[in-house]
Amino acid sequence: MSQAKFDIPFQSAVSPEVLDADTRIHFRCYKGISCFNACCKQADVTLAPYDVIRLKRRLGMSSTDFLAKYTVPFQMDQDGTPGIKLRTDDTGTCLQLNGDEGCGVYEDRPTVCRYYPVALLALREKGSAEAREQFSLVKEPHCKGHLEAREIRIGDYRTEQGVEEYDELNREWYQLILKKKSAGPTVGRPPETSLQLFFMASYDMDRFRRFVLSDNFRSTYQLTDDFYLELERSDEELLRFSYRFLRQVLFGEHSVQEAADAWEKRVAERKEVWDARREFELKRRAAAEDEKYRHQPDAESTPDQNPGDRPCCD
């Protein structure tokens, strides 16, 4: 068992030891244990992208409707990077709790719920380009699962709880978050449009799909018709593509090939817009100037003077 330490908040339920897949823990949760559903009644569940896909499918909703009804937003860092948590009722109980029966979406429960009481850590050593996945243990007073006799390796517990599929589809997203955090001021606060794109491409897959399949997107990026068809059919493939797109948006990586003349087209389109705005503003100012002089009292004019000769007094 690894005994590396990391900083945690004072009185945190998270153990300061960094553990690995071979670490053995004592834990078992089952219907009938005295604390059954206690964690669901004190829910603080942050969602990752694949969690949203599984839950919106389970509930038969679009991602947009799921986000509006069952999640609340929060800022993951000082730059305003958007995150989401599962919504609870006024007592802090998860809205997916099905009374005494337990989780109402158990087969599609989020990553955090599957891992509990293990916490997944994405750690990157200084000078390394890749993050290592390690773990820590969460011990909360209400949880009696730690008192159970069963001993199990963390690696086996992950397999038992079905987190490997979730990790495979969320891994690149965790790396994006870590890269942004480690880059610090060299990246700076992303513009608001980038944050909006991050939210859409991370969580709102149905809206992101409409964005990717739009004529404007197709004319901008070089992707095959077969690839677009795959994005239309598969949430998982669309999610993988969203990570490529976010690397380009957030870090300027050329992860999605643009059409040869896409940049020139955007420049030309923007020039047309700015030229139109400039012409409109000039006309607006001229009209305002004419209106101002039209309402000047006659006493201010002399017979040998006309409004066009007057000096501007703005």
Over the stretch 199-238, which tens digit does the pLDDT of each residue have? Answer: 999 999 999 999 999 999 999 998 999 999 999 999 999 9
Residue carrying the six token digits 């559903």: 37
* Residue 197 · residue 84 · CB < 8 Å: no
The answer to whether position 152 is within a domain reads: yes
Q: Are residues 162 and 210 in the same domain?
A: no
The answer to whether position 79 is within a domain reads: yes
* Residue 20 · residue 135 · CB < 8 Å: yes
310 pLDDT more than 90: no
The answer to whether position 18 is within a domain reads: yes
The answer to whether position 69 is within a domain reads: yes
Element (H, E) at 153: strand 151-153
Residues in the chain: 314
Average pLDDT taken over every residue of the chain: 84
Q: Are residues 95 and 209 in the same domain?
A: no
The answer to whether position 271 is within a domain reads: no
Say how many domains are in the chain.
2
Q: Are residues 116 and 31 in the same domain?
A: yes
Please name which of 109, 95, 116 lies closest in space to residue 55, comparing C-alpha atoms: 109
Please name which of 115, 121, 117 lies closest in space to residue 159, comparing C-alpha atoms: 115
The answer to whether position 159 is within a domain reads: yes
Q: Are residues 71 and 151 in the same domain?
A: yes
Residue carrying the six token digits 């990391």: 6
Condensed to tens digits (0 to 9), the pLDDT of residues 130-184 reads: 667 899 999 999 999 999 999 999 999 999 999 999 999 999 999 999 888 776 5
Q: Are residues 143 and 203 in the same domain?
A: no
* Residue 16 · residue 6 · CB < 8 Å: yes
Degrees, nearest 5: CA angle 177-240-237? 155
Q: Are residues 241 and 109 in the same domain?
A: no
Residue with more model confidence, 296 or 205: 205
Of 251, 273, 301, the one marking the end of a domain is 251
Element (H, E) at 51: helix 49-58
Q: Are residues 143 and 230 in the same domain?
A: no
User: Using 50, 70 and 90 to split pLDDT, how confident is the model at 314?
Assistant: very low
Q: Where in the sequence is the domain holding 213, given as residue range(s)?
A: 190-251
* Residue 237 · residue 213 · CB < 8 Å: no
Residue 219, CB-side half-sphere exposure with 13 Å CA sphere: 7
Q: Are residues 160 and 210 in the same domain?
A: no
Of 205, 233, 251, the one marking the end of a domain is 251
Q: What is the dihedral of CA 265, 266, 267, 269, to 10 degrees?
A: 80
Dump strand ranges (E) for 169-210.
none
190 pLDDT more than 90: no
Q: Are residues 61 and 199 in the same domain?
A: no
The answer to whether position 97 is within a domain reads: yes
Residue with more model confidence, 57 or 10: 57
> Is the pTM higher than 0.85?
no
Residue 284 is given by DSSP the state H
Q: Are residues 230 and 109 in the same domain?
A: no
Count of helices and strands (H, E) across the chain: 11, 8
Q: Are residues 55 and 87 in the same domain?
A: yes
197 pLDDT more than 60: yes
Which amino acid is present at 191? P
User: Using 50, 70 and 90 to split pLDDT, how confident is the model at 4?
Assistant: very low
Which amino acid is present at 19? L
Alpha-carbon distance of 131 to 154, in angstroms, equals 19
The answer to whether position 256 is within a domain reads: no
Residue 133 is given by DSSP the state E
Condensed to tens digits (0 to 9), the pLDDT of residues 9-25 reads: 434 577 778 999 999 99
Which amino acid is present at 43? A
Q: Are residues 155 and 92 in the same domain?
A: yes
Burial class (CB in 10 A: 0-12, 13-18, 19+), 125: exposed
Alpha-carbon distance of 98 to 103, in angstroms, equals 6
